[in-house]
Chain A
Amino acid sequence: MSKSIARVFLVDDHPLVREWLTTLINQLTDLTVCGEAASEEKALEGIRDTTPDVAIVDLAMPEGSGLSLIKNIKAHVPGTAVVVLSMHDERFYAERAFRAGARGYVMKGESTSSIATAIREVLSGKLYLSPRMQTVFAERFADGGIASLNTPIKKLSDRELEVFRLLGQGYETRRVAQSLNVSIKTVQAYCARIKEKFQLANASELLREAIRFNDAQSSG
């Protein structure tokens, strides 16, 4: 019996959220709350001690940051999967949270009923995203997605690849131009061609793909 009950650790600075989240989770037969914390430091301590199956983490905390907590959990307690439950807009934070090592993202107040689903999905080894973000992610990968397949990267010329790589390392247009010793207009022309080849809508997407590419390169 106790073997099948998954243990959940809550990290949220808002007591009301912690209190009712505990009630919500504890009334489910397959989940139980094993601890809670309101700051990054206390959370990491608690998670190390209790080694829960899942940690539910808020991104905004008065002390510390959710994103760095996720990275720390991933590094020090790899057996604990992280689900983000945040007020922050998933369109801007989901990807960053996933990059830091989260396995699920639920926006507070968007779909309260899916919190349990998110925890269960993540427990079964899957990723959890809201239907809207699933579409966004799928679209990103569908045509020009780079990280999913290695082939489209071959579409880039050497110079374009160089620009793309530098963008991924956090170089801005101006610094790319400086380090390649070309004009900004030239870099912009490369950016336009890369966007076209990968069918990216704008510079933010270009930057995102470049960072993703850089992450993939450095981690593997």
Chain B
Amino acid sequence: MGTWTEQVEKQSKARIATAAILLALCVGAFDYATGTHISFSAFYLLPVSLAAWFLGANFALFIAALCVSVWIAGNTISGDEDFATPFLIAWNGTIQFTTYVVVVLVMAKLRSLNQGLESRVRDRAAELTREIAERERLQQLVLEASEQEQRRIGQDLHDGLGQHLAGTAIAGQVLREKLERRCLPEAADAKKVVELIEEGVSLTRQSVKGLYPVDMNAEGLMLSLEEFTVTTSRLFDVNCRFICESPVLMHSAATAEHLYRIAQEATRNAVQHGNAHDILVELGVLEEGYELRIEDDGIGVPLAPPSTPGMGMRIMAHRARMIGANLEVRARLSGGTAVICRLPVAIEDQLAS
């Protein structure tokens, strides 16, 4: 409904009631002043409708009765012929009152329908908000579950398989030394075996890095990003550099890990979808917070964001939301994409404490 009804709705009942009564009297006064030949009966509908809409049927009926009385009084005083006998007064008065009653009933029904509709809209909106919140929570749970699983696999590889292989390498070394002491040519084979197991340990260590990245002390993010860029350059044959002008210490391990994963995802996008050759990962401090920026010289983002952004993009945005950061993905003027994640300083401090 329009805004004027909302304005009226805000007023107290007493005020609206007074207004309705005054309006009825005013119309009556005009009716009387304009004489018997000009009919004013429709104008009485104004206070009646006002009362019916805002104050309920009972009070509206009272106003209707008031209007009819004022109308009759006015017309009788001015000597209208239609009100010459009590019968005429009763007849005309009843007809007029009945009309108002019909209007009141229609208005009351309309009002209740309108209210029902409004409350349904409110309920739906609340339901929708709940559903969105639930979906967000689920999204986060899924993300957390997958991260927890990754971390678990990473830890198993690191502490389980890795250590087992390391122990096996030592066992191999024992065998090799025994063979060497007896001057047996098989010592060379044993040496080879030890080297192969060592390669296994090294491969395990590399797998662990992708799964369970940030070593979570305060300077961990800087070190991890640096190592990540070196590994990316080597693995994908690109020039991936890390720039950090002055030390950035993250006091919340969770924030550091989210930022690391955002950098990882943005870089992966640049290499796999953007055909980038130069990728710059920059971590910096601004007056208002921290900034992680990943820029590449690839084919760039499409100008209009697709209606269904890729999973990676959505997860990046979700991570940013989780740590209270703002994520921006845009095309660079010189070509390529820039992913910028800004974390307000207050949030990191809050998370840290």
- Shortest Cβ gap from A121 to chain B (Å): 17
Q: Contact check: which of A27, A109, A206 meets B197 at CB < 8 Å?
A: A109
Q: In this assembly, does A197 line the interface, its C-beta being within 8 Å of a C-beta of chain B?
A: no
Contact string, B159-173, partner A, CB cutoff 8 A, digits 1/0?
100111111111111
- Would A191 and B246 count as touching, CB distance under 8 A? yes
Majority-rule SS of B interface residues = helix
- Would A204 and B244 count as touching, CB distance under 8 A? yes
**Interchain CA distance A14-B169 in the complex, whole Å:** 14
How extensive is the interface on chain B, given as a class? 35 or more
- Would A17 and B167 count as touching, CB distance under 8 A? yes
- Would A202 and B166 count as touching, CB distance under 8 A? no
With a cutoff of 8 Å between Cβ atoms, the chain A residues found around residue B173 in the complex are 24, 112-113, 115
Q: Which of B248-270 contact A (CB under 8 A)?
A: 248-249
**Interchain CA distance A174-B245 in the complex, whole Å:** 13
**Interchain CA distance A92-B285 in the complex, whole Å:** 23
Q: Which of A9-60 contact B (CB under 8 A)?
A: 14, 16-17, 19-21, 23-24, 27, 60
Q: In this assembly, does A212 line the interface, its C-beta being within 8 Å of a C-beta of chain B?
A: no
Q: Which residues of B contact A (CB under 8 A)?
A: 158-159, 162-174, 176-178, 194, 197-198, 200-202, 204-205, 215, 218-219, 222-223, 226-227, 242-249, 285-287, 345
With a cutoff of 8 Å between Cβ atoms, the chain B residues found around residue A110 in the complex are 198, 201-202
- Asked, given contacts A87-B205, A172-B249, whether A20 binds B286 with beta carbons under 8 Å apart, the answer is no
Stretch at the interface among A130-138, A139-147, A182-190: A182-190
How many residue pairs between the two chains, A and B, have CB atoms under 8 Å in the bound complex? Answer: 128
Q: Which residues of A contact B (CB under 8 A)?
A: 14, 16-17, 19-21, 23-24, 27, 60, 87, 89, 91-92, 108-113, 115, 167, 170, 172-174, 183-185, 187-188, 191-192, 202-204, 206-207
With a cutoff of 8 Å between Cβ atoms, the chain A residues found around residue B166 in the complex are 14, 17, 87, 108-109, 112
- Would A192 and B172 count as touching, CB distance under 8 A? no
- Asked, given contacts A112-B170, A112-B194, whether A16 binds B177 with beta carbons under 8 Å apart, the answer is no
- Would B223 and A16 count as touching, CB distance under 8 A? no
- Would A112 and B222 count as touching, CB distance under 8 A? no
24 contacts between A and B (CB under 8 A): A17-B167, A17-B170, A20-B167, A20-B168, A20-B171, A20-B174, A27-B177, A87-B158, A108-B169, A109-B162, A109-B205, A110-B201, A110-B202, A112-B166, A112-B173, A113-B173, A115-B170, A172-B248, A173-B247, A184-B285, A188-B285, A202-B222, A204-B223, A207-B219
